[in-house]
């Protein structure tokens, strides 16, 4: 029997509020099934199951705030006999069925050292209790082993205090989430940057010819070419693709390309195109369309929020010509793509008007050096120059 816990939702999120259960006791689940929906600072996110088996019991209530690691459901392994649930020992994070690289999220969690001999409580509960001046020892915990959870603290304080989070609009919440992740990035990642301005005229001409006469569903955007080129470069220069966890860089097996999507009114989200290394250009485009559509509708999946191995952030068709981006931890590189601009350019020894794009690679000096970044950029540029090879 396994306890399914609230998974990490990315380095900038500490949890979410349960708004919908999509399974009931008795249902069978397999890896990747969406079992619940939580509302987060970045919109609703579908929580995927990491286990296989039969749901025995739902352990979280609707409207409950679930910090990362909070128990959500008891799941019986296939063939396992239904037995009386044994009481959970408090704090068994080792059992948390999270993807390995979701681990560093623990670092984001409030840093108050877990004091021994004090009331067991989740980190989020501890912080909120501090904010609300609630004594944890006076609370009855509803978590594993009687641990005090965030909801317990808020329940206790509700009659006396407004929740600070509730007074902030959702934008403020997203701002806070981005601020926390980016501050952590700048404080822990020794960024360095290399950039190159690339003639994209051949790519634009190729796209225009390809899209002419194509039904809208079959059209491809320059952005998809950029993502595809970055994915291919990441496969070649492996030190740009992976995660820096527990003091060491771990190269990813495939490429899950995080695609930054700007949200209306401000804020952004960077869900990953899972398995982008195995996609054709058409599939990359279709995958990006799907991600953007679901980002707008607030239906991204938990794995997409955590499993990115490199991020591509594009300023779109109009706007500034270059962007020096901040790496999304625990990733080690971000490709920033400026808006296309028409510039005087030397082509075959003569000046010509060409559309150019400036791409800037932000990389983590703990994982790589400038020479490798230069190889990445060189590979990217070569690919964009021959769009038919993408």
Partner 1 sequence: MTDPDIRAIYLEELVKIAPDLDAEDIANEDHLQDDLELDSMDILNFVSALHARLGIDIPEVDYPRIATLWQAQPYLLARLRDESGG
Nearer Cβ to partner 1 (148/288)? 288
Which of 26, 216, 344, 349 touches partner 1 (CB under 8 A)?
216
- Identity of the residue, 27 or 321, whose beta carbon is nearer to partner 1 in the bound complex: 321
Q: Which is nearer to partner 1, 44 or 120 (CB)?
A: 44
Residue 262 found at the interface with partner 1 (CB under 8 A): yes
Residues of span 294-323 touching partner 1 by CB under 8 A: 296-298, 316-318
Which of 175, 191, 219, 238 is in the footprint of partner 1 by CB under 8 A? 219
User: Does 169 sit near partner 1 (CB under 8 A)?
Assistant: no
Q: Does residue 179 touch partner 1 according to CB under 8 A?
A: no
Q: Is 264 in the site for partner 1 (CB under 8 A)?
A: yes
- Contact status: 175 vs partner 1 (CB under 8 A): no
| 121: Cβ contacts below 8 Å, ≥ 6 apart | 129, 136, 141, 143, 147, 148, 149, 153
- 257 near partner 1 (CB under 8 A): no
221 vs 251, beta carbon nearer partner 1: 221
Q: How far is the CB of 211 from partner 1 (least distance, A)?
A: 6
Q: Toward partner 1, which CB reaches closer, 144 or 223?
A: 223
Nearer to partner 1, 150 or 279 (CB): 279
Q: Kindly list the residues in this chain that would bind partner 1 in the complex (CB under 8 A).
A: 208, 211-212, 215-217, 219, 221-223, 261-265, 288-289, 292-293, 296-298, 316-318
């Amino acid at each position: 029997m396994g306890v399914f816990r609230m998974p990490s939702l990315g380095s900038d999120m500490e949890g979410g509020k349960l708004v919908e259960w999509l399974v009931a006791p008795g249902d069978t689940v397999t890896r990747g099934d969406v079992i619940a929906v939580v509302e987060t600072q970045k919109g609703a996110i579908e929580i995927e199951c990491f286990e296989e088996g039969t749901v025995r019991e739902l352990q979280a209530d609707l409207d409950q705030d679930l910090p990362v690691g909070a128990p959500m459901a008891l799941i019986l392994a296939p063939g396992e006999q239904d037995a009386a649930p044994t009481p959970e020992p408090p704090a068994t994070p080792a059992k948390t069925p999270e993807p390995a690289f979701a681990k560093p999220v623990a670092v984001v969690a409030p840093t108050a050292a877990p004091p021994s001999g004090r009331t067991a409580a989740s980190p989020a509960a501890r912080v909120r209790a501090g904010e609300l001046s609630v004594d944890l020892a006076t609370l009855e915990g509803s978590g594993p082993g009687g641990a005090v959870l965030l909801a317990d603290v808020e329940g206790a304080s509700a009659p006396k205090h407004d929740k600070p989070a509730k007074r902030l609009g959702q934008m403020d919440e997203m701002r806070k989430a981005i601020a926390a992740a980016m501050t952590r990035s700048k404080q822990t990642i020794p960024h360095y940057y290399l950039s190159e301005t690339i003639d994209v005229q051949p790519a634009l001409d190729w796209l225009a010819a390809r899209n002419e006469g194509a039904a809208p569903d079959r059209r491809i955007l320059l952005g998809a070419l950029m993502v595809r080129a970055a994915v291919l470069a990441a496969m070649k220069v492996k030190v740009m693709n992976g995660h820096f966890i527990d003091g060491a860089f771990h190269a990813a097996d495939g490429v899950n390309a995080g695609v930054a999507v700007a949200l209306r009114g401000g804020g952004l989200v960077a869900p990953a195109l899972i398995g982008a290394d195995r996609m054709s250009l058409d599939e990359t485009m279709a995958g990006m369309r799907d991600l953007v559509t679901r980002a707008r509708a607030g239906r991204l999946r938990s794995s997409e929020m955590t499993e990115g191995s490199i991020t591509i952030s594009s300023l779109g068709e109009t706007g500034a010509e270059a962007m020096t981006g901040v790496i999304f931890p625990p990733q080690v590189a971000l490709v920033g793509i400026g808006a296309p601009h028409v510039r005087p350019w030397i082509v075959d020894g003569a000046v010509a008007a060409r559309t150019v794009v400036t791409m800037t690679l932000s990389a983590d000096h703990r994982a790589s050096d400038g020479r490798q970044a230069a190889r990445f950029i060189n590979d990217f540029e070569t690919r964009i120059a021959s769009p038919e090879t993408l």
